A = this chain, B = another copy of it.
């Protein structure tokens, strides 16, 4: 999330009751979580395991619960005891969730030739381009950006919250939501089936690129990037912060884990599971997804075990 106007580190410090270690007059561009952080941004960290990742990231400002760390040159700390709570305070201040009584918010920008069917919900700060069709019972949540010639079929949800939690098993409620302030960006000529869900980014954008097509009941996790001309069959699920490069085909019920990359023009056959990155240009199958030709041979080998058994036992 970028801040709406110029904010200094001191202003943030006052908001979250933190101590500035560094340049209190430095400008903070926005707050982002570690996978998406850019220069000028602020990030937060509360677990020693991740101190270094955050200090060495592109972040210019780090909200942290420890003063005794090596601060790289040109970076600033905001010291406080509860960095996660500080994050929530900042999000609630700059992008609070608020009620809405109208099905379509007044500030929506809708392009020429775009059809919005009945029972559609459109939240705040949403932009929709030209010649789109938004079918009935679709929900388009706050800050979504949709390009031209996009079709979204009935019952689909664009911009639901990230499934992303701060976990501490020593309290009554283990999981505390890392409130989303990101959005979904859908480019031109994208078509999304019925009953799909696309989560918004935690602090940045979930992006569906030009010409991607999705069948029904496809789930796309927060901060995931879907490349141009990707084709996803029904009931595909992709977890958070994953990169699907251009031209990838995922057949029905494929599952893809988080924070990995599937290379350009790869094809993953139906019901396969992808727990780690795959190179482009090849066809994959099974769990864990491996090159299809080899994986298919494994199925043949399994059928030969009884013969093998008999041979060995007879000797």
Contacts and interface: CB of A to CB of B under 8 A. Distances in A.
Interface of A: 97, 99-103, 115, 117-119, 121, 123, 133, 135-139, 141, 151, 153-157, 160-161, 163, 165, 169, 172-175, 177, 189, 191, 193-197, 199, 210-211, 213, 215-217, 219, 221, 229, 231, 233-235, 237, 239, 247, 252-253, 255, 257, 270-271, 273, 275, 287-288, 298-299, 301-306, 308-309, 311-313, 315
Nearest to A269: B275
Contacts of A174: 211, 229, 231, 247
A38 to B, nearest CB: 27
Contact of A189 (B102, B154, B173, B270): B173
Contact of A229 (B173, B235, B273): B173
Contact of A311 (B118, B137, B312): B312
- Counted per complex, copies of this chain come to 3
A155 B175 CA distance: 23
Contacts of A138: 137
A306 B294 CA distance: 12
A135 B197 CA distance: 13
A237 B217 contact: yes
A233 B173 contact: no
B160 A157 contact: no
A97 B133 contact: yes
A64 B271 CA distance: 37
B115 A137 contact: no
Contact of A160 (B118, B154, B213, B304): B154
Contacts of A121: 117-119, 136-137, 154
12 contacts: A119-B119, A119-B121, A136-B141, A137-B155, A155-B195, A160-B216, A216-B219, A217-B217, A233-B239, A237-B252, A237-B253, A271-B287
A311 B309 CA distance: 10
Contact of A221 (B141, B151, B234, B303): B234
A138, A165, A197, A288: which has the most chain B beta carbons within 10 Å? A197
Contact of A193 (B135, B163, B189, B234): B163
A309 B309 CA distance: 10
A125 to B, nearest CB: 15
A153 B158 CA distance: 11
Nearest to A273: B271
B303 A298 contact: yes
Nearest to A102: B118
A255 B229 contact: no
A136 B142 CA distance: 12
A10 B217 CA distance: 42
Contacts of A235: 219, 235, 237, 255
